[in-house]
Structure 1
């Protein structure tokens, strides 16, 4: 069961900062699901993941407008 991080209603840089904290709580190879409403969260989290050596497995916009970003911890 992937860990879910709900940062809906929070704005840059909170979603990225919370994602960085949460990734440390899962094992290498596991994923976290980030739920966000800030449009900047998608490019911000992708850039952060690339810089930190993690992988964005998927990124989608749900029908209610929520962004669902799945990040895999690689190291």
Structure 2
């Protein structure tokens, strides 16, 4: 569900704002990369932690 939740939350942001997303599913990395490319959003950072994956995504449009 990270992609669906991310899409819903990024729609609430103004262009240029940054969304922090956490996911514990290893597949989320490729899923969010594909979604960001398709949706025209920019992934600024991907961090792997003991708690999962942390993404910083900037709204571009």
- TM-score normalized by structure 2? 0.94
RMSD: 0.8
- Matches of residues 26-65 of structure 1 in structure 2 within 5 Å? 26-62=13-49, 64-65=50-51
In the TM superposition, residue 66 of structure 1 has moved relative to its aligned partner by 1.2
Give 2:10's aligned residue.
Answer: 23
Q: Unaligned 5+ residue runs, structure 2?
A: none
Q: Unaligned 5+ residue runs, structure 1?
A: 1-13
The structure 1 segments of at least 4 consecutive aligned residues displaced by more than 6 Å after TM superposition are: none
Higher relative contact order (CA 8 A, sep 6+): 2
Give 1:68's aligned residue.
Answer: 54
The structure in which a higher percent of residues are helix is 2
